[in-house]
Structure 1
Amino acid sequence: MYRIGEIAKLMNISKRTIDYYTQMGLLNPIRTDSNYRLYGHETIQILELVEHYKNLKMPLEEIKSSIEMMHSENSIDKQKVEQHFEQIALIMEHLKEELKAMQPILQKLNKQQKEQLVSKLTPQGITLAQTLYLLFK
């Protein structure tokens, strides 16, 4: 378990940001008898997701909705799932356009340069691309 300052330092964000996310309901710390907030490992995962979605320019309310949907133990709201897939589709369309714009540049690269680019992709990124391809095939 981490105190607010520890989690802020670990995740390289401000305590104020953690306070804001807690007020929003994104983070759910436990309180000690002396009223300290303690954050668990799940907080790290949530903060990583928030950062990921923020990099994709997703608004915080949508981020919150997506995280709530992922952590829901009850039946999932069909409308929220559809909204989430629409968001993913928009991101994929954006990526498709980016790749389309990059295609002429990529065609000018030699084999070694292409291999160097591919080596920068993470295994998770490659797996994700393959999964998305199969999912929407």
Structure 2
Amino acid sequence: MGRVRELGGSRRTEPRVWAPGSKSAVVEALTEEAVRTRRFPGIAFRGDDASRRPWIIGAGLDIWEVCQMIEDYESSESLLEETHLSAAQLRLAEAYRRSYPTEIEQAITDNRRPPEEHLALYPFIEFVED
């Protein structure tokens, strides 16, 4: 039987479900997220435990997506004109990228895989033409 724990006046008798790894690993991961959200006000984290990623609050986009858009547009000005993003959100994405370049580059690289590689990894996906 799992631990019994007092929660809001009710007793918990089933085991608590934790992410893979130890409780200390979960605490460490959540602490790292808390540090990053304090260093970069305007970001939050989303996704399941295995693939948590930072996103920009109010933009609805992951930081790597904004960074990829910055690369793909001719200029920041055209990006600002053609999207709902603000200059502050672009600066936030760029600042985060400078602090965590490997994380952002890996996400962009994964997204830019050729269609054949995506199909090999995920045979159930369908591509939509622009």
Place the TM-score, normalised by the shorter chain, in its bin.
0.3 to 0.5
TM-score, normalised via structure 1 length: 0.31
Is the strand fraction higher in 1 or 2? 2
Give TM-score, length-normalised by structure 2.
Answer: 0.32
Question: Which structure: greater helix fraction?
Answer: 1
